[in-house]
Amino acid sequence: MQGTETKTISEEEKLILAAQANRNHFQPLYEKYYTQILKFVYQRVTTKDDAHDITQQVFIQAMLSLEKYELRGFPFSSWLYRIAINELNQAFRKNEKQRGVNLEEKHLKDIAEEMNEGGIEEKERVLLDALTTLDEEDFQLVEMRFFEKRAFKEIGEILNVTEANAKMKLYRILDKLKPVLEKNLKMC
């Protein structure tokens, strides 16, 4: 007789499977992730109303597409973040809304430390200006790593790239920011 392996199903997987079987069971997933996704969206838009509207769309899309979700060992939230990024991009294109940047001072310091830029406290505005030169995809990667403190593995899952690719992209972005920062610092 061959040994049978039993796979332990996590609580999250149980919630997902229940919601896939019957959409009426989607509410626990909504309640578990709503605040997290709202914060993610709000960091990228200028008003709370926009953040709530886009977050609502994220969960509508998630519920409508739930049967397409596959359990692959990543948190359900990674899939929701991917939907949120798509909804944000669609909102920016459709309504020509400007991307917002809602940062805390510590986020700028974290980026400066990673770039080995000492004494940035008085030059945070310069760093913020440099960040605005990034295209949307690069800015999202910086946000996820430094503002949301996501691991490269999760960033890779959200962006549908490998962990190594996410890391490489981030460090290329930081290298791209250095000359902009240096130029702007000389102007101060």
CA 132 to chain centre: 17
Range from 29-43, 60-74, 120-134, 164-178 carrying the lowest mean pLDDT? 120-134
Residue 112 binned pLDDT confidence (cut-offs 50, 70, 90): low
In terms of pLDDT, which residue wins out, 86 or 6? 86
- Top pLDDT among 111 and 169 is at 169
| Domain with residues 11-95, CATH architecture | Orthogonal Bundle (1.10)
| pLDDT over 80 (residue 162) | yes
Kindly report the CATH number that applies to the domain delimited by 105-187.
Answer: 1.20.140.160
b/e map 130-149, b = 16+ CB within 10 Å: bbeebeeebbbbbbbbbbee
Give the start-to-end residue ranges of the domains of the chain: 11-95, 105-187
Residue 36: strand, helix, or coil:
helix
**58 contacts 88 by C-beta, under 8 angstroms:** no
Amino acid sitting at position 117: E
DSSP label of 69: -
Answer yes or no: same fold for 11-95 and 105-187.
no
Structure confidence by residue, pLDDT tens digits, 83-98: 998 898 888 777 655 5
Q: What is the mean pLDDT of residues 38-65?
A: 91
* Single pTM value for the model: 0.64
